[in-house]
């Protein structure tokens, strides 16, 4: 695992956007298409805004979700909104190349199976994404793999319905899908992540984040997150 520290959150977002763009160009050069998955939350917003301005082979890029809250389409809590606003409304990604987790139907188990089939149709079976971008929670969760949730132990599926957290159920990529990706990029900012970031980089601890494969994993953090408390 390689850690790169930027002076602040803006600089970290810029480094991350350049890193993602490089991975996309490389995947298209080697395999004719790029299949990447982005996390939700506020941390990746600036990275995606900057990525939308990159000169990329957009026609060959397919974007997937790392996780999604089970709320109606258009709800402000949907992770999908961020990708639509940055990569489609303000960028060049084709709308049909953004593959949303189908959380609207209500049956989360069926939705997980459907999304796995979508992933397999693009990224093979077993699924091998070119890049998965991850965040890090203050409790050590990543994607929607939370401490104590049974989804952390799943090994036979790439997508699963997680339990209820902060009042909402979620769909998430599982550890097999994350660990089989060709590259993993962590984007970590703010001082409240510092303790968990130290665990992650050291490979210590028993949180879900520490179960993610370390080789071909890269961490871009701002100075606040990378400074010991």
Query: What SS3 string covers 51-78?
Result: HCCCCCCHHHEEEEECEEECCCCCCCCC
Distance CA 28, CA 35 (A): 9
Please state, in angstroms and rounded to a whole number, the distance separating the CA atoms of residues 112 and 133: 19
Phi, psi of 160 (to 5 degrees): -145, 160
Categorize the per-residue pLDDT at 41 as very low, low, confident or very high, splitting at 50, 70 and 90: confident
Concatenate the DSSP letters of all residues of 13-57 into one string. Answer: HHHHHHHHHHHHHHHHHHHS-EEEEE--SSTTHHHHHHHTTS---
Residue 161: what pLDDT? Answer: 96
Which pLDDT value is given to residue 95? 97
Architecture of domain 2-226: 3-Layer(aba) Sandwich (3.40)
What pLDDT is attached to residue 43? 92
Reported as a pLDDT band with limits 50, 70 and 90, residue 205 is confident
Q: How confident is the model at residue 201 (pLDDT cuts 50, 70, 90)?
A: very high
- Listed by start position, the domains of the chain span 2-226
Per-residue pLDDT tens over the stretch 6-19: 999 999 999 999 99
Paired sense of beta strands 131-134 and 217-222, if any: unpaired
Q: Quick check: 199 and 142 in contact, CB under 8 A? A: no
- Side-chain half-sphere CA neighbours of 160 within 13 A: 22
Given a contact cutoff of 8 angstroms between Cβ atoms, the answer to whether 56 and 93 are in contact is no
pLDDT single digits (tens) 125-177: 999 999 999 999 999 999 999 999 999 999 999 999 999 998 999 999 999 99
Q: What is the pLDDT of residues 91-111, one digit of tens each?
A: 999 999 999 999 987 799 999
Distance separating alpha carbons of residues 213 and 94, to the nearest angstrom = 31
Q: What is the DSSP letter of 142?
A: B
Q: What pLDDT is attached to residue 40?
A: 87
pTM of the full structure: 0.96
What DSSP character marks residue 9? H
Average pLDDT, the chain: 95
Q: Which residues contact 195 (CB under 8 A, 6 or more apart)?
A: 229
Distance from C-alpha of 184 to C-alpha of 20, rounded to nearest angstrom:
10
The angle formed by the CA atoms of residues 201, 153 and 62, to the nearest 5 degrees, is: 70
Pairing of strands 168-173, 159-165: antiparallel
Residue 150 and residue 57 in contact, taking contact as beta carbons nearer than 8 Å: no
Look up tokens 């093979």; give the residue. Answer: 124
pLDDT value for 149? 95
Query: In the structure, what pLDDT confidence band is assigned to residue 229 with cuts at 50, 70 and 90?
Result: low
**pLDDT-based confidence at residue 226 (cuts at 50, 70, 90):** very high
Q: How would residue 185 be classed by pLDDT, with cut points 50, 70 and 90?
A: very high
Q: Higher model confidence: residue 106 or residue 68? A: 68
What is the Cα gyration radius of the chain? 16
β-pair type (67-69, 168-173):
antiparallel
């Amino acid at each position: 695992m390689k850690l790169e520290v930027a002076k602040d959150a803006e600089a970290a977002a810029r480094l991350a956007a350049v890193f993602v763009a490089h991975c996309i160009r490389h995947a298209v050069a080697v395999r004719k298409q790029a299949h990447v998955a982005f996390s939700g939350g506020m941390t990746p917003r600036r990275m995606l805004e900057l990525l939308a301005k990159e000169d990329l082979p957009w026609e060959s890029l397919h974007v997937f979700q790392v996780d999604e809250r089970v709320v109606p389409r258009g709800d402000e809590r949907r992770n999908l909104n961020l990708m639509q606003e940055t990569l489609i409304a303000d960028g060049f990604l084709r709308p049909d190349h953004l593959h949303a987790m189908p959380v609207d139907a209500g049956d989360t188990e069926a939705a997980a199976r459907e999304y796995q089939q979508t992933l397999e149709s693009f990224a093979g079976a077993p699924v091998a994404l070119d890049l998965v971008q991850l965040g890090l929670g203050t409790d050590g969760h990543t994607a929607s793999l939370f401490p104590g949730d049974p989804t952390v132990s799943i090994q036979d599926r790439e997508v699963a319905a997680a339990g209820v957290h902060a009042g909402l159920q979620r769909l998430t990529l599982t550890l097999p899908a994350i660990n089989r990706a060709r590259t993993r990029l962590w984007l970590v900012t703010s001082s409240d992540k510092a303790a968990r970031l130290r665990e992650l980089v050291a490979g210590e601890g028993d949180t879900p984040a520490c179960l993610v494969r370390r080789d071909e994993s890269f961490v871009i953090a701002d100075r606040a997150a990378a400074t010991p408390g």
